[in-house]
A and B are shown apart, each in its own frame.
Chain A
Amino acid sequence: MDLFEIIFYFFAAIVLVSALVVVLSKNIMYSAFSLLFTFFGVAGLFVLLNADFVGITQIMVYVGGILVLIIFGVMITTKVTGVDIKEGISGKLQYAGAGIITLLTAIFLSLMFINGKWITGSSTDVHATIHQIGTLLMTKYILAFEAAAILLLIAFIGAALIGRRKA
C-alpha cells in the first residue's frame, strides 16, 4: 500500500465519517463543525486528483464562505439547537424509511458506478491547471462565467433584500 493510497483512504475516511456526523448529530453545532471536516476532506480528494485550483476554491468558498454563513445562521437562530428528529413511532418510521432509501441509493449508485462502462482516458496535462482554467473561462466559457457573475450579484442583492429586517 503506497502513500498515495493511504492518503486517499485517509481523506475518504474524513469525508465519510464527518458527513455521517453531519447527518446524524443531534447538536446542530456539531453538525456544522463536522461539515468543516467534510469540506476539507473533499478538498484533499480534489488535490489528490490533480485539481489543485478546485481544491483551493473548495476550501475558500465552502469553508471560508458557506460554512461561515451557515454557522452564522445557526447562531442567529439559537433557539434551534435541540433535537429535531421526531420522537415516537412515526418519527422512527421516518428515520427507518430514510435510512433504507439512503442505503439503497448508496448501494445502487455504487453498483452503477462500478459496473458502468465509463469512457476512460488519461488526462493530458495535470500541471498548471490554473492557467488553463483561466484561459477557458475567458474564452470558451466566457458566457457561463459572465452569467455566473451576474447570478452571484443577483444572489447577493436578493439575499440582502430578503434578510433585511423589516421596518
Chain B
Amino acid sequence: MGHNTLLILATIVLLLPLASFLILVTNRKRLPGRSAGIIGTSFIGIGLILSIIIAAHKMVTFKMLPMIQYKFDWFTVGNIPVKVGIGIDNITGIMLIVVMLISFLVHLFSVEYMRDDVRFSRYFAYLGVFTFSMLGIVIANNFFFMYIFWELVGLSSYLLIGHWYEKDSASNAAKKAFITNRIGDLGFFIGIMILYFSYNSFMFDEIFTKINYGILPFDSGTMLTVAGILIFCGAIGKSAQFPLHVWLPDAMEGPTPVSALIHAATMVAAGVYMTARVFPMFTGWALIFIAYTGAITAFIAATIAITQNDFKRVLAYSTVSQLGYMIMGLGVGAFTNGFFHLVTHAWFKACLFLASGSVIFAMHKAAHHFNDHHTDAQDIRNMGGLRKTMPLTYYTFLMATIAICGVPFTSGFLSKDGILAGTLAYAQLNGHWLIPIIGFSAAGMTAFYMFRLAIVAFHGQPKTEIAGHTKENNWVIVFPLVLLATLSLWFFYSGNPLDPSKGWFHEKVKPQPTAVLGNLQWAFLIPYESKNPSHQKVLQRVYGIEPKDEMDMMDEMPLKPEAMGMPNPHMKPDAKSANQQALTDDEMMVNPHTGKKEMPNDEMMVNPHTGKKEMQNEEMMVNPHTQAMAPNSSTAKVDAHIPQHAEMGKEKAKNDEHKAKGEHGEAGAHHAFNKFEEQSHAAHIPAMIISLLCAGIGMLLSFSIYQFKFADPDKLALKAGPFYRLSFNKWYFDEIYNVTVIGGTMLFSKLLGLFDNKVVDGLVNLSAGITRVTSYFVGHFDNIVVDGLVNLSANVTGFSGNIIRKLQTGRVQSYVAFTITGIIILLYYFW
C-alpha cells in the first residue's frame, strides 16, 4: 500500500460521513423507521475500518515518514497560488480512529436513544456532517482547510445542540455555542491571516520551516507570539477554555449522544488537536499563555463541577476541566501526554456521557411509565440506587470514573500523570509553580466530584419512585458503554500500568519539536528538524554546537541563500537578506567557550519581547543553554557528531546527541534530546505520588460525605457560604457576561443606533436635501434649456414644414407649374 493509496483512503474516510449526510438529507421523508440510523451507522462503520487500516499502515509501514502529504494549488490569489492538501501522520491516524470509533458508537447508541424522535433522520444527517467536519480538521495539513472545517464543526454543533429547537433553552444554547465560538474563531482567523501575510502559505510544514529559518511575522518575535496566541484563541473557543468555556455546559441541551460526541471526539477535541498540530509555531510566551489558560480552566471548571446537580452538567464541567488539563499539558511542552490525554479522555468521557444517556433514557422511560412529567430526569437528586437496577451501566460508569480520576491501571492515570509530571518539570525548569499546584488540586477535585456523582446517582436507596423502577437498557446502548469502558484500561496503551513511556503510544507520538528559534523559545524544548544545511547552523547557533572548523562553515555558506530563497520566493528581499545577515552574524558570534557565565535555570528563556535586539547579542541566548545542555562536554566530542547530525535521521541523531552528552542524561535510557523530557521523566514518580494522594483525598472525602454520611452536604454547603454559591452559580460567569459583554454590546448598539439616527440619518438627509436642491436646479435647466432646445428644433421643423406644406396643395395645376419649373432647371443644367 503506497502513499497515494493511503491518502485516497483518507479522502474516502473523510467523504463517507458526508455521503451519509447527503443521502439522509435528500431522502429524509422516504426512509422508513430507523433505517436512517442504520444507514448512518453503517457508513461510519466502514469509515472506522478504513481509518484503522490507515492508522495501522501509517504507524507500522511508514513509521519513518513524519507526514504523508498531498498538496495541490487550489486557486490563485494575485500571483500566489493557494496551496491546500491533506496529510497523514501518526497524530492524524490516532485521531482518525478516535473520531470514527466514537462517532460510530454514538451513531449506534443514538439508533436506540433517539428512536422516538420526530426528526430522526435529520439527526443522523447532522451527526454525519459533524463527523465529516471533524475528520476534515484532522486530515487537513494547512490552515485553510482547517479553518473551513473548523467553521463547519461550529455549524454542525449548532445544528445538533439545537436539535430540539422547540425548547427555548436548546435553541438559546445552540446560539450561545455558535456565538461564543465565533469570538474564538475571529482570533483564529486573524492569526491565520498574520501567518499567511508573513509566509504566503497556509501549509503547516512550510510555515514551520520558515519560522525555523528565523523568518518572523513583521520581523518581530512579539508578532509571532501574538499570532500564536490568536490561533490558540480558536482553540479557546472550540475547546471551551476559560473565558469562553460558558457554552459547553449549556450545550447539554442537545441530545445526550451528541454531548458525548462533542465532549469526546469532535468539537472540543478539535481545539486541542489544533493546538497540538500547530505546536511547533508557539513561542515561549505563547506557551506560557496556553499553559495558564489551561490551568485556570481546569481549576475553575473543577470547582464548579463540585456543586452541580444536573447529571450532564457535572460531566460537562469535568470535560472543561479535563480539556484544561490537555491544554495545560501542551502548554508546558508535555506534548505527548497532552495528546495522550485527549485520546484516553475521549474514551472514558464518551463512556461517561453515554452512560449518562443510558441513565437518562431509563429515567425517562420510567417516568413515562408513571406518567410523571415533572420530575427532572437529569437531576442526580432524583436518582440513587441505580446500581441495582442498571448494573451494566453502573459498572461501565464506575470504570470511566476511576479512569478520569487517575487511579492506576487505567488509561486516565497514564495520561494525567504524564501531564502532571510535565507541569512539575516545567515548574522546576522555569519556576511557574502555580501550574502544577493547580493541576494537582484540580486532580483532587476531579476525584471528589466524579465520585460524588457516582455515589449520589448510583448508590444508596432510590430517592424517587422513578429511579426505583428504571431498567437496564438493551445491547444497542450497553455495547458502546462496555467497549468504551474496556478502552479505559491501561494495557491498550502501555504494558507497564504505571509508566506509559515505553508503550506504543509514546513510541508513535514523539514530543513535537518546536520550530521557534532559541531566543523566543524555551531552551529545553526539542528543536525542529530540518534537512536543510542552514538549519544545522541554527542548531549550532541555538544549541552551541561548534562547527568542525572554518572550512566547514565556508562550505556550507553558499548553500544558504538558495536554501533560504527556495521556500519563499515572494518574501521581501530586504527581509530575507536581513535574516541572512542575522544568521551570518550569529554564526560568527556563537562561541560556547566565551562567556560561560553562571545563570539560574529560570532565566534560560530570553525575553521574547526584546528578541530583536538580542538576535545580535547571541551569547545571552546561547550560553545559558550551553550551560544547561552540555556543561562538561568537550568541543571535540561535539564535533565528532556534526556529520552524523547532518546526515542521519531524526532518531539516530538524537541518540547520538544524547550520548554525546552522556554524562548529563541517564545513560541514554530515553530518547530525550531535551532537558524537559529528562526532567519530566524524573518528575514522573513524585507526580504520580502527589496525584494519587490528591485523588485519594478527593475520593475519601466524597465517600465520607455522600456514602457514609459523616457530614451533611447541605450543612457543609451552608458553612462554605460564599464559596458554595460561587461554585454553584458557576463563578457567575454567565451573569458577568450578561452584564459586561451582552450589556456592553447592547449599550454599544444603542450608541450605534443613536449614531445611526443622528449622524448617519443626518448625513443621508443632508445628501437628500442637497440632491433635492440640485434636482430643482437641474429640473429648471431641463425645463428651460433642454426643453427649449427640443422645442426649438420642433418649432423649426414645424415652421419649415408649414412653409413646405404650402407646396403640397393637392392642386394639379401647382404641380404642373413645379414640374415645368423642374424640367426647365434640369434641362438647363444638362444642356
A interface list, Cβ under 8 A from B: 97-98, 101, 104-105, 108, 112
Asked if B60 is at the interface of the complex by the 8 Å CB criterion, the answer is no
Give every chain A residue within 8 A of B817 (Cβ-Cβ).
Answer: 97-98, 101
Q: Say yes or no: B827 contacts A101, CB within 8 Å.
A: no
Report how far A112 CA is from B828 CA in the complex, Å.
9
12 residue pairs of the A-B complex, CB under 8 angstroms, read A97-B817, A98-B817, A101-B820, A101-B821, A104-B821, A104-B824, A105-B820, A105-B824, A108-B827, A108-B828, A112-B827, A112-B831
| Whole-angstrom distance between the Cβ of A20 and the nearest chain B Cβ | 19
Number of interface residues of B (CB under 8 A): 7
Q: Which residue of A lies closest to B817 (CB)?
A: A101
Q: Which residues of B sit under 8 angstroms from A105, Cβ to Cβ? A: 820, 824
* Overall SS of chain B's interface: helix
Task: Given A104-B821, A105-B824, output 12 extra A-B contacts at Cβ < 8 Å.
Answer: A97-B817, A98-B817, A101-B817, A101-B820, A101-B821, A104-B824, A105-B820, A108-B824, A108-B827, A108-B828, A112-B827, A112-B831
Least Cβ distance of B803 to chain A in Å? 15
- Give the interface SS of chain A, mostly helix, strand, loop or mixed: helix
List of A residues within 8 angstroms of B824 by Cβ = 104-105, 108
B828: nearest chain-A partner, CB-CB: A108
Q: How far is the CA of A105 from the CA of B831 in the complex (A)?
A: 15
Q: Which residues of A contact B821 (CB under 8 A)?
A: 101, 104
**B residues 272-315 with Cβ under 8 Å of A?**
none
Mask, B788-831, CB within 8 Å of A = 1, is 00000000000000000000000000000100110010011001
Interface Cβ pair total, 8 Å cutoff: 14
CB distance from B677 to the nearest CB of A (A): 125
User: How far, in whole Å, are A105 and B823 apart by their CA atoms in the complex?
Assistant: 10
Cα distance, A97 to B813, chains bound together (Å): 12
Q: In the assembled complex, which residues on chain B have CB atoms less than 8 Å from the CB atom of A112?
A: 827, 831
Nearest Cβ on chain B to A14's Cβ, whole angstroms: 25
Residues in chain A near residue B831, CB distance under 8 A: 112
Distance between Cα atoms of A112 and B824 in the complex (Å): 10
A112 and B830 CA atoms in complex are apart in Å by: 12
Cβ contacts under 8 Å, A101 to chain B:
817, 820-821
CB distance from B827 to the nearest CB of A (A): 7
Bound-complex Cα distance A98 to B811 (A): 14
**How many angstroms from the CA of A97 to the CA of B827 in the assembled complex?**
20
Which residue of chain B has the shortest Cβ distance to A97 in the bound complex?
B817
Report the minimum CB–CB distance from B823 to chain A (whole Å).
9
A22–B253 Cα distance when bound, in Å, is: 121
**Closest B residue by C-beta to A115:** B831
Which residue of B has the minimal Cβ distance to A104? B824
What is the CA–CA distance of A161 and B566 in the complex, to the nearest angstrom?
A: 111
Residues of chain B within 8 A of A108, CB atoms compared: 824, 827-828
Give CA–CA (A104, B817) in the complex, Å: 12
> A101–B815 Cα gap in the complex (Å)?
13
Q: What is the CA–CA distance of A101 and B813 in the complex, to the nearest angstrom?
A: 12
Assembly CA distance A154 to B177 (angstroms): 108
Cα-based distance from A104 to B823 in the complex (angstroms) = 12
CA distance A104 to B828 in the complex (A): 11
Alpha-carbon separation in the docked complex, A75 to B831 (Å): 45
What is the CA–CA distance of A97 and B807 in the complex, to the nearest angstrom? 13
Question: Closest A-chain residue to B823, C-beta based?
Answer: A105
Alpha-carbon distance between A52 and B820 when the two chains are bound, in angstroms: 32
Shortest C-beta distance, A161 to chain B (Å), equals 23
Proximity string of chain B (184-219) to chain A, C-beta cutoff 8 Å, 1 when within and 0 when not: 000000000000000000000000000000000000
- Bound CA span A97–B824, Å: 15
A152 to B827, CA, bound (A): 33
Inter-chain CA distance A101–B822, complex, in Å, is: 11
Alpha-carbon separation in the docked complex, A45 to B824 (Å): 26
Query: CB-CB < 8 A to A104: which residues of B?
Result: 821, 824
Which of chain A's residues has its CB closest to B821's CB? A101
Complex CA gap A104/B827 in Å reads 13
Q: Which residues of A contact B820 (CB under 8 A)?
A: 101, 105
- Smallest beta-carbon distance A54→chain B, Å: 27
Give Cα distance in the complex from A101 to B828, angstroms: 14
Looking across the interface, which residue of chain A has its beta carbon closest to that of B818?
A101
Contacts of B827 in A (CB 8 A): 108, 112
Question: Bound state CA distance, A105 and B819, in angstroms?
Answer: 12
7 A-B pairs closest in CB distance: A108-B824, A101-B817, A101-B821, A105-B820, A101-B820, A105-B824, A104-B824
User: With the chains together, A97 CA to B820 CA distance in Å?
Assistant: 12
B824 to chain A, nearest CB (A): 5
Residues in A neighbouring B828, C-beta threshold 8 A: 108
Instruction: Name the residue on B nearest A98 (C-beta).
Output: B817
Q: What's the minimum C-beta distance from A126 to chain B, rounded to whole angstroms?
A: 32
Chain B 523-568 residues near chain A, CB threshold 8 A? none
Residues of B within 8 A of A97 (CB): 817
Q: Which residue of B lies closest to A108 (CB)?
A: B824
User: CA–CA, A108 to B831, complex, Å?
Assistant: 11
Within the assembled complex, what's the spacing in Å between the Cα atoms of A108 and B817?
A: 15
CA distance A28 to B76 in the complex (A): 101
Min CB distance A111 to B, Å, is: 9
Looking at the assembled complex, report how far the CB atom of B424 sits from the nearest CB atom of chain A, in whole angstroms. 128
Query: How long is the Cα–Cα vector from A79 to B586 in the complex, in angstroms?
Result: 134
How far, in Å, is A95 (CB) from chain B's closest CB? 12
Contact with A along B431-450 (1 / 0, CB 8 A): 00000000000000000000
| Complex alpha-carbon distance, A80 and B815, angstroms | 24
Q: Which residue of A lies closest to B824 (CB)?
A: A108
- Complex alpha-carbon distance, A97 and B817, angstroms: 9
Q: How far is the CA of A98 from the CA of B828 in the complex (A)?
A: 19
A10 to chain B, nearest CB (A): 30
- Tell me, rounded to whole Å, the shortest Cβ–Cβ distance linking A86 to chain B: 12
CA of A107 to CA of B820, assembled, Å: 13
Least Cβ–Cβ distance between A114 and chain B, in angstroms: 12
> Which A residue's beta carbon lies closest to that of B814?
A94
Q: Complex: how many Å from CA A93 to CA B828?
A: 25
Write the B54-84 contact mask toward A (1 if CB under 8 angstroms, else 0).
0000000000000000000000000000000
A132 to chain B, nearest CB (A): 33
CB proximity of B520 to chain A, nearest CB, Å: 110
Give the CA-CA distance A108 to B828 in the complex, in Å: 8
